[in-house]
Amino acid sequence: MDRRFKLDSLLSVDIKKERLSGEAARESCMVAASILSKSFSSQLGPKGLFKLLAEEARPLFISRDAHSLMTGLMLEHPAAKLMVELVNAQDGEVGDGNTSTVIVAGELISRARKLIEEGLNPVTIVEGYRMAAERAEEILNELAVPIMKNDLPAIVNTSLKDYRSDRLSAQIIEVVTRIKEQYGEADTERIAVHAIEGGSLDDSFVVNGATLFGWALPSSRKRVENAKIAILEKPLEIGVSDALSGMRIKDSKELSRCFKEEEELLRSMVNRILHAGANVVVSMGSIDVRAQGMLTHEGVFITHHYPEYNDLRHLARATGAKLVNDILSITSDDLGEAELVEERRIAEEEIIIFDGCKHGSATLIIRGGSKQLADEHKRIVYTAIAGLARTLEDMRALPGGGAIEVELAKRLRAWATRLESKKQLAVEAFADALEAIPRALATNAGLDQIEILTELRRLHKKTPSMGLYVTEDGTKIDDTLEKGVIDPFVVKRQMIHGAVEAAELIILVDGILQDKTREEKLEESQAIERIAEDDEEELPA
């Protein structure tokens, strides 16, 4: 059957009104999960293809990133939704390896389906899969190679796939390692990645601090060195109600007295800010024009009406500033610091850069020729950042390009011979499922997956790191450890755990009990009301 049709059927599957149980429910879930996962195999690796998401009510979206695609799809089948939860969990856990996890999970599920058809009990299969996963983790531990600082570019470049670039990987390493040094851990929440349309990936740059998308007030300074930054959560203005509340203005004298009082209050707020030592003011709300004048007169850099709370929180973390709620009680302790604050124009975008911050936060500005491309670059960079951050905690790697999956499959098959026959079948199915990774990498590189897999299996009799090596000049089989195609240990371990967990959940489904949707419930109650009204009308007078 045409795969496109099959994915369509999954997206609009009409099981809402059905309540399936037993085999029918399991079958429905297994088919849905396998279809979903199969549709992701074409995007794996450096030669993976893009998917275009054209859901209604969403901007057009093009990507190869499993997490973004799955969370962008409006899936209806509960099993498909479950797979999305899995990808979300995986993304939160490691941030890379999502596509591989989905592929392996789907393979585990479709192979389990065959085993069930052959008469194996789902519980036995799940037990076999769990045993295989435990053994696989032991093998991964045996095969993991310790890495040093100078191996990090290879880890990052493998994660960047066909966007591999020494410049970009150096920028990513600089950012993540600096956060670790300054903050004590490589907390990815302290790294902001922003996409700016225009230019190429090579024009991307690092800001040792934070950036805001906005501009300085035209009348204020555009550049401040040794900045002391005040971030205001509340507007720097006096609401009409504050000044005039409960007051009945009788004549113009009273009105001007009232304005004077307002101005004095504004002056005292401005004085507090200046007294605290701020020379940069960032405000979430607006700043009264009179206060603007007072501040710019003192050479303060001002930006106001900044609505993005997350950006301000990142700015506060980067600079060490506190978000100020009560302006009249601001002190020097509330201010953040940056070596340089500057308004800059990048392509069509005005941004304010807070550079030279010392509190362990950084920003990567990622460029791309179009909005879609810049956003996709941002996603892939973020994935590489997340993978690297976890690698710094573990400093172990495994051969990439499908090498580790072929080796795991080989060793698991050998180990399975010691098990009783039914579990053996499940462990062998597990081994076959892992080989979906080299098969997908080969197919995506335009090679014959069967030929490649046969050759890899032959080479693995001697060398466990033989895998696919994709370069601009073509794809060949090589020693991936030597060639620097290496994946973090944590990513591969999570792939095994995540895939088994998802497969288990779906294989053990024994019923789909979907509650009616809110609309259906409403329709139903309206129908009941209509019947009751009709009945009343029909009653004899």
Ligand X SMILES: Nc1ncnc2c1ncn2[C@@H]1O[C@H](COP(=O)(O)OP(=O)(O)OP(=O)(O)O)[C@@H](O)[C@H]1O
The nearest distance, CB 384 to Mg ion, in angstroms, is 8
Instruction: Closer to Mg ion by CB, 165 or 182: give it.
Output: 165
Pairing of strands 323-324, 486-488: unpaired
The nearest distance, CB 266 to ligand X, in angstroms, is 51
| Binding interface with ligand X (CB under 6 A) | 44-46, 48, 65-66, 96-100, 158, 161, 383, 400-401, 437, 441, 468-470, 485, 487
Q: What b/e readout covers 445-478, taking b as 16+ CB neighbours within 10 angstroms?
A: bebebeebbeebbebbeebbbbbbbbeeeebebb
CA–CA gap between residue 220 and residue 433 (Å, rounded): 62
Quickly list H helices, 144-209. 152-160, 166-183
Using CB distances below 5 to 8 A depending on partner kind, what does residue 488 bind out of Mg ion, ligand X, none?
Answer: none
Using CB distances below 5 to 8 A depending on partner kind, what does residue 45 bind out of Mg ion, ligand X, none?
Answer: ligand X
Do 359 and 313 meet the contact criterion of CB atoms below 8 Å apart? no
Instruction: Closer to Mg ion by CB, 102 or 330: give it.
Output: 102
Q: Which residue is nearest to ligand X (CB)?
A: 400
Instruction: Closer to ligand X by CB, 88 or 424: give it.
Output: 88
Instruction: Closer to ligand X by CB, 143 or 437: give it.
Output: 437
DSSP characters over 353-386? EEES--SS-EEEEEEESSHHHHHHHHHHHHHHHH
The nearest distance, CB 433 to ligand X, in angstroms, is 14
Using CB distances below 5 to 8 A depending on partner kind, what does residue 444 bind out of Mg ion, ligand X, none?
Answer: none
Q: Is 57 helix (H, G, I), strand (E, B) or coil?
A: coil
Which two structure tokens, joined as six digits, stand for 345?
Answer: 């124009």
Q: Which of these ranges, 37-45, 90-98, 147-155, 440-448, lies near Mg ion under the rule CB under 5 A?
A: 90-98
Using CB distances below 5 to 8 A depending on partner kind, what does residue 282 bind out of Mg ion, ligand X, none?
Answer: none
Q: Which of these ranges, 95-103, 122-130, 190-198, 510-518, lies near Mg ion under the rule CB under 5 A?
A: 95-103
Instruction: Closer to ligand X by CB, 368 or 438: give it.
Output: 438
The nearest distance, CB 533 to ligand X, in angstroms, is 55
The nearest distance, CB 379 to Mg ion, in angstroms, is 10
| 91 binds Mg ion per the rule CB under 5 A | no
Instruction: Closer to ligand X by CB, 451 or 533: give it.
Output: 451
**H or E stretch including 193?**
strand 191-197
Instruction: Closer to ligand X by CB, 428 or 487: give it.
Output: 487
Q: Which of these ranges, 89-97, 273-281, 415-423, 449-457, lies near Mg ion under the rule CB under 5 A?
A: 89-97
Which one-letter DSSP state was computed for residue 287?
B
Instruction: Closer to ligand X by CB, 136 or 470: give it.
Output: 470
The nearest distance, CB 502 to Mg ion, in angstroms, is 18
Using CB distances below 5 to 8 A depending on partner kind, what does residue 360 bind out of Mg ion, ligand X, none?
Answer: none
Q: How would you write 288-348 as a 3-class SS string?
A: CHHHHHHHHHCCCEEECCCCCHHHHHHHHHHHCCCEECCHHHCCHHHCEEEEEEEEEEECC
CA–CA gap between residue 391 and residue 413 (Å, rounded): 29
Q: What b/e readout covers 257-291, taking b as 16+ CB neighbours within 10 angstroms?
A: eeeeebeebbeebbebbbebebbbbbbbeebbebb
- Beta strand spans in 64-182 (E): 145-146
| 343 binds Mg ion per the rule CB under 5 A | no
| 96 binds Mg ion per the rule CB under 5 A | yes
By C-alpha distance, which of 335, 283, 345 is closest to 308? 283
The nearest distance, CB 190 to ligand X, in angstroms, is 21
